[in-house]
Amino acid sequence: MGKRIRLLHSAPATKAEEILSAGLRATSEFDDLDLEMRRGVVFCWLREEDDKMWGKRPDHAYFEVKVDAERCRVAEMDFASVAMMYRRGEKKPKNRQQAARLLAEAYRVTSVPLSEYVEGTFFAPEVLVKGDIDSACVRPLIG
């Protein structure tokens, strides 16, 4: 086993009991970029302030997870977010399908293994943890 790292995962508070008993499953509603690197992962954050999606919403809870750092890649969530908005038609720039493909590719090629990530490189660094995270490695973040 490699070096263990502490990460954060945010989820709707209504799922807290399920997460604490069953752990985190490597499935995502955010997988429409058709990138292999986003399949079979749990999305996490290095710090609460990195979570530009949910922030401190009262209907969301944070969980501390401890995983092997070798399972992790860091990528710029903003590239993925804008690419998904284009792909879904939520934003309509000229050539939106091509723009979505280019942003998805930028997301892929700028991502790095966690061991190579330099703090501050990305505005919204998301950590992709390959595979499920066992409930023994998850605890609620209080405070």
Region label for 89, one of left (φ > 0), alpha (ψ between -120 and 50) or beta (otherwise): left
For the chain, the average pLDDT equals 87
pLDDT tens by residue, 102-115 = 888 898 999 999 99
Return the pLDDT at 143.
Answer: 53
**Does 27 score more than 70 pLDDT?**
yes
The predicted-structure confidence for 56-74, as pLDDT tens digits, reads as follows 677 888 999 999 999 999 9
Domain boundaries, the chain: 4-76+112-140
> Which CATH class, in words, describes the domain spanning 4-76+112-140?
alpha beta
pTM of the model: 0.86
Long-range pairs for 113-119: beta carbons < 8 A, 24 or more residues apart:
113/70, 113/72, 113/73, 113/74, 114/5, 114/69, 114/70, 114/72, 114/73, 114/74, 115/69, 115/70, 117/74
Contact 133, 63 (CB under 8 A): no
